[in-house]
Amino acid sequence: MSGLTDLTLSEALAKLDSREISAVELARAYLDQIAQHDDQIKAYLTVTADLALQQAEEADRQRAAGGPQGVRKPLLGIPLAIKDVLSTRGVETTCASKILKGYVPTFDATVVARLYEAGMVMLGKLNCDEFAMGSSTENSGYFVTRNPWDLGRVPGGSSGGSSAAVAAGMCAGALGTDTGGSIRLPGAFCGIAALKPSYGRVSRYGLIAYGSSLDGAGPMTRTVEDAARLFQVMAGHDPLDSTSMPVDVPDYMAALKPLPEATADRPLAGLRVGIPKEYFVPGMQPAVEKAVRAAIDRLADLGATTIEISLPHTEYSLPVYYLVATSEASANLARYDGIRFGARVQGTDLFDTYRKTRGQGFGAEVKRRIVLGTYALSAGYYDAFYGKASQVRTLIKRDFDRAFEQVDVIAAATSPSTAFKLGENVSDPLQMYLTDVLTIPANLAGICGLSLSCGFDENGLPIGLQILGPAFREDVILRAGHAYERSTEWWKQRPALVRS
């Protein structure tokens, strides 16, 4: 059936529930879309076509049986795809690294297991920057993913495969992970809705760690409503994860509705929106600033009150992040030695095997971050680098705490620019790192953030609006994002490459 991959996740679910389409028809439509476009986009590392069709057939059987079993599965028959840093039982999981080539987990990450329980049909595993280290998906150990809006540009990173697959209609939704912006940045570059949860809201069990105090998995979808549907299934305490918080999970679909004091034309009445002056950085692309300021004005038109705020320690976020994250990466990646799992390059002795396996298995960016982190943690430098960065991280969090005493959410650009050209920043790591300057503070503070499309630049590339909220208040940013999204036409735009 034509046009099935143009449906949002919520639209597809409604058609499945009404028996207008079958799960098998929907899965085949997405598999056909992958076959047609992924040779150009390169979003998938692994396509699990046989598994997807088996799961789709089972979903149709359950729907045909009716009764409470089908009711309990909120995503029954919906085709999704998973970033390759999340463990999937029986399906190769490589973190887009050659050092993990051939590794097949014996268990599912908790978020994957919850999606399965909700009725997900899994289409496959998605490309990313190796071990989630990058902002462009050019650091994959296998191949570069391209932006569906312009095949000569990056899709963002590290969840670039996830964002590209959603934007190109090659899955109804995807999971990404966010350590310093790796859900929100590719969401902005590809013009989709992308939610970074608060630290501790979603289980990290089975998420192969990069920065353990920063990482988190989140949904990437066409719309904010779709993100809320996926997030409802993912969120919640997990006893298998010591960083998972035992905090009640609200009804996120109900949270999309306006508050009682709102009206039809002012759905955000009563919402206080902070505008941080530090987030309109020098050198910001003019089209981005214009679109984001217009989006803020639109929030005001919808009833919100806008208030200028200051987050004075924002300028320190980048150096703090690249000390904290690389230090944690240095510790986390020490386990990849060619002995216990993954690839092995045999040497003349044990040390030589370590050296050759890691030397050939890790890419340049991963090696760079391991070296930086090891140096920051080394004797004589720990206090001056990692210790000091941890102290400044506390100041950054306090900035947000004070801001949220005045406002309910914070609105700004997701990125200072739209998607850059392939190869443009590869030889300049510092320039690449600056791409994350507006997303990193949220990870350091452990708060939640949402990116959604708010316009296009002169080259027809999507621009992202970022809405930040206090820890565990995803309901508030989802409500604000949904109201804004439904008042515009930006979310309806599709890349010409896949336009029906």
- Measured over the CA atoms of residue 132, residue 281, residue 324 and residue 398, the dihedral's sign is negative
Confidence (pLDDT) at 1: 44
Pairing status of strand 79-83 against strand 173-177: parallel
Q: How far apart are CA 145 and CA 319, in angstroms?
A: 27
Summary mean pLDDT of the chain: 95
Does residue 67 carry a pLDDT above 90? no
Nearest to 234 by CA among 182, 276, 192, 176: 176
In 326-442, at which residue ranges do the beta strands (DSSP E only) sit?
409-413
Nearest to 497 by CA among 32, 150, 214: 150
Q: Mean pLDDT, to the nearest integer, of 45-50?
A: 98
Alpha-carbon Rg for the chain, nearest whole angstrom, is: 21
Q: What 3-state class would DSSP assign to 279? A: helix
CA-angle at 172, arms to 169 and 176, nearest 5°: 100
Q: How confident is the model at residue 342 (pLDDT cuts 50, 70, 90)?
A: confident
- Marked catalytic residue, from 10, 87, 182, 203: 182
Q: Mean pLDDT, to the nearest integer, of 341-363?
A: 92
Q: Mean pLDDT, to the nearest integer, of 94-111?
A: 96
Does residue 427 carry a pLDDT above 90? no
Q: How far apart are CA 147 and CA 165, in angstroms?
A: 9
The answer to whether the CB of 175 falls within 8 A of the CB of 86 is yes
Does residue 68 carry a pLDDT above 80? no
Does residue 294 carry a pLDDT above 70? yes
Q: How far apart are CA 140 and CA 133, in angstroms?
A: 9
The answer to whether the CB of 5 falls within 8 A of the CB of 33 is yes
Does residue 200 carry a pLDDT above 80? yes
**Residue tagged 């799960």 (tokens):** 23
* One-letter amino acid for residue 291 of the chain: A
Q: Is 83 a catalytic residue?
A: yes
Q: Is 182 a catalytic residue?
A: yes
Pairing status of strand 193-196 against strand 448-456: antiparallel
Q: What percent of the chain has pLDDT over 90?
A: 91
Q: In what order do the strands lie in the sheet with 217-221?
A: 44-47, 121-126, 79-83, 173-177, 217-221, 193-196, 448-456, 462-469, 409-413, 272-276, 305-309
Confidence (pLDDT) at 2: 55
Q: What 3-state class would DSSP assign to 18? A: coil
What token pair was written down for 213? 């105090």
State the DSSP string of 459-493. TS-EEEEEEEE-TT-HHHHHHHHHHHHHTSSGGG-
Q: Mean pLDDT, to the nearest integer, of 57-68?
A: 87
Confidence (pLDDT) at 71: 55
The answer to whether the CB of 138 falls within 8 A of the CB of 257 is no
The answer to whether the CB of 45 falls within 8 A of the CB of 85 is no
Q: What percent of the chain has pLDDT over 70?
A: 98
Nearest to 416 by CA among 197, 156, 138, 149: 156
Does residue 261 carry a pLDDT above 60? yes
Does residue 412 carry a pLDDT above 90? yes
* Proportion of the chain in helix, strand, coil states, percent, rounded to 5: 45, 15, 40
* One-letter amino acid for residue 121 of the chain: V
Confidence (pLDDT) at 500: 56
Q: Is 397 a catalytic residue?
A: no
Residue ranges in 22-159 assigned as alpha helix (H):
23-41, 49-65, 68-71, 110-117
Q: How confident is the model at residue 403 (pLDDT cuts 50, 70, 90)?
A: very high
- Marked catalytic residue, from 10, 97, 158, 203: 158
State the DSSP string of 132-192. G--SSS---SS----BTTBTTB---SSSHHHHHHHHTTSSSEEEEE-SSSTTHHHHHHHT-
Residues facing 449 on adjacent strands: 196, 468
Q: Mean pLDDT, to the nearest integer, of 2-26?
A: 95
pLDDT in tens, 377-394: 998 899 999 999 999 999
Q: Mean pLDDT, to the nearest integer, of 56-64?
A: 96
Intra-chain end-to-end CA distance of the chain, in Å:
12
Q: How far apart are CA 18 and CA 483, in angstroms?
A: 27
Domains of the chain in sequence order:
4-266 (3.90.1300.10)
Buried b (16+ CB within 10 A) or exposed e, 99-124: bbeebebeebbbbbbbbbebbbbbbb
Q: Helix and strand tally (H, E) in the chain?
A: 17, 11
Q: Is the pTM of this model over 0.95?
A: yes
Residue 218 neighbours by CB under 8 Å, 6+ apart: 175, 176, 177, 178, 183, 194, 195, 196, 197, 202, 231, 234
- Marked catalytic residue, from 42, 83, 98, 196: 83
Q: What 3-state class would DSSP assign to 4? A: helix
The answer to whether the CB of 466 falls within 8 A of the CB of 411 is yes
Please count the other Cβ atoms lying within 10 Å of the Cβ belonging to residue 56: 24
The interaxial angle of helices 317-332 and 388-406, nearest 10 deg, is 120
Nearest to 132 by CA among 451, 452, 443, 415: 443
The answer to whether the CB of 470 falls within 8 A of the CB of 404 is yes
In 190-235, at which residue ranges do the beta strands (DSSP E only) sit?
193-196, 217-221
Confidence (pLDDT) at 374: 95
Does residue 70 carry a pLDDT above 50? no
Nearest to 168 by CA among 48, 34, 78, 75: 34
The answer to whether the CB of 55 falls within 8 A of the CB of 120 is yes
Q: How far is CA 328 from CA 10, 254, 321, 369, 457, in A?
A: 38, 38, 10, 10, 37
**Cα 481–chain centre separation:** 16
Q: Mean pLDDT, to the nearest integer, of 122-137?
A: 98
Does residue 69 carry a pLDDT above 60? no
Q: How confident is the model at residue 293 (pLDDT cuts 50, 70, 90)?
A: very high
Lowest mean pLDDT among 56-70, 339-353, 413-427: 56-70
